Amino acid sequence: MTQPSSQLAQRFRGYYPVVIDVETAGFNAKTDALLEIAATLLGMDDDGNLIPQQTLHFHVQPFEGANLEASSLAFNGIDPFNPLRAAVTEREAITEICKAVRNAQKEAGCQRSVIVAHNAAFDQGFFNAAVERLNFKRSPFHAFVSFDTTSLSALALGQTVLAKACQAAGIEFDNKEAHSALYDTERTAELFCYIVNRWQQLGGWPLANAPCAGAENDNPETLDAV
């Protein structure tokens, strides 16, 4: 039985948005270690406002043979081998995130999830590389579609830097807390929700004189192709 489409499913054409941020030991997703990851699940209230819900956060052990760039570690301040990090394996972190995303996606009546991130190509690249290393067969995320809050912020707020975009949106941002996956994910989630909700308030959604394309009008093959 097809699950009835929710407002959230209708809003993004059957996609369920999940905000993700990673901290890494370099810029090469294939070779450099994933060291921290956070994911914020989103929901929609009765008025159609997008809201942050649950955030998952993991410190991650470098995968076997991972490259650790000293300059990147100096920048983010992470000591990959500090026992106080209570780091878990990539498999545990990615498995728990995918499990939570699948459950939220199903509850929202969506057919596929999509990564939302600031400079999304970077975070998506590291997430996809981890999925590939782990030989995951059923990632809930679309392989290449993403929602980039850098581009959205440039359009809506005239800013591209996360801290400045948050400031323009009236979202508190502490630069001392920045470059933590948990902090940056939660601020990015607030920013994404602000932009989406502001567009609704300005009358940009729902589209006038046009039906909303919900999840029930699409199938996984169609979603994969977009």
Give me the active site residues, please: 179
Classify the phi-psi angles of 209: left when phi > 0, otherwise alpha if psi is within -120 to 50, otherwise beta.
Answer: left
CB atoms within 10 A of CB 175: 7
| Beta strand pairing call for 141-148 and 112-117 | parallel
Tokens of 160: 């591209």
Strands 34-44, 15-24: parallel, antiparallel or unpaired by DSSP?
A: antiparallel
Please state, in angstroms and as integers, the Cα–Cα distance from residue 62 to each residue in 14, 46, 150, 178, 194, following that order.
34, 42, 28, 21, 34
Q: Give dist(CA 99, CA 219) in Å, integer.
A: 21
